[in-house]
Amino acid sequence: AQSVTQLGSHVSVSEGALVLLRCNYSSSVPPYLFWYVQYPNQGLQLLLKYTSAATLVKGINGFEAEFKKSETSFHLTKPSAHMSDAAEYFCAVSLTGTASKLTFGTGTRLQVTL
Amino acid sequence: DTGVSQDPRHKITKRGQNVTFRCDPISEHNRLYWYRQTLGQGPEFLTYFQNEAQLEKSRLLSDRFSAERPKGSFSTLEIQRTEQGDSAMYLCASSPQGPISNYGYTFGSGTRLTVV
């Protein structure tokens, strides 16, 4: 069965500091991996996705993630945090080629302080 | 097209009542998904449709839950005899046909259900 684990339910960074949100996956087959962001009382917005092409994936709002098979990781980073980045971030996995469900992690709430 | 639309945004109901939520996907998307998100958790898959066919259902979808997509366009999710444990955000998403790798999903803003 596929799953993702997000380490750290809350992360706090200063504005301008590096953002690092951790995600490790478990999958018996090569996975597709996604990062979504959720602002309060809103749905989820796709930040970026890994689909077995380049291992370093660039997304919206300056975020990027690197797929590391040896570490079964797909951590999300942003070089410089902005106040508007404060939100809940979810990592998700889907089995290669399937059209059905995404399996989400429990989320990491990012707080950005002045 | 304004994206995935869900109605209502909020619903408060008494325990034991029935509720129905509606989702209007992006018009050219033939896949539609329902997820449930409880406080502090990630979304959990409930069910998905391709056109009007319901192709997969989670074990989370008890007999009190039913979803339909009669004409392959909008979908409804009904919960009968609501329980306090049904309180959650119900999210709808849609995607075009094709590998999920090409598209991901587009989510709606959700319907927040509170059962009192």
- Residue B100, pLDDT score: 67
User: How much of chain A exceeds pLDDT 70, in percent?
Assistant: 96
On the question of pLDDT at B35 being above 90, the answer is yes
pLDDT single digits (tens) A16-62: 999 999 999 988 777 889 999 999 878 899 999 988 778 899 999 99
On the question of pLDDT at B42 being above 70, the answer is yes
pLDDT single digits (tens) A51-71: 877 889 999 999 999 999 999
A32-41, A68-77, B12-21, B96-105, range with the lowest pLDDT: B96-105
On the question of pLDDT at A95 being above 90, the answer is no
With CB atoms and an 8 Å threshold, state whether A99 touches B91: no
SS3 string of B50-108? Answer: ECCEEEEECCCCCCCEEEECCCCCCEEEEECCCCHHHCEEEEEEEECCCCHHHHCCEEC
Phi/psi for A70 (5° steps) reads -65, -30
pLDDT band at residue B105 under the 50/70/90 scheme: confident
Which residues from A are below 8 Å from B108, CB to CB?
A: 43
The CA distance from B109 to B106, in Å, is 10
Q: Is residue B31 within 8 angstroms of chain A, CB to CB?
A: yes
- Residue A52, pLDDT score: 76
pLDDT band at residue A96 under the 50/70/90 scheme: low
**Which of B6, B101, B107 is nearest residue A32 as measured by Cβ atoms?**
B101
CA-based nearest residue to B72, from B49, B42, B103 = B49
- Residue B71, pLDDT score: 87
CA-based nearest residue to A1, from B49, B103, B41, B45 = B45
- Residue B110, pLDDT score: 94
With CB atoms and an 8 Å threshold, state whether B100 touches A99: yes
Task: Count CB neighbours of B57 within 10 A.
Answer: 15
**Which of A94, A105, A107 is nearest residue B100 as measured by Cβ atoms?**
A94
Higher pLDDT, B98 or A75: A75
- Residue A2, pLDDT score: 80
| Chain B interface mutation, best of A41, A90, A102, highest count of B Cβ atoms under 10 Å | A102
Task: Count CB neighbours of A31 within 10 A.
Answer: 24
The CA distance from A89 to A73, in Å, is 15
Positive or negative, the Cα torsion across B68, B66, B98, A39?
A: positive
- Residue B72, pLDDT score: 86
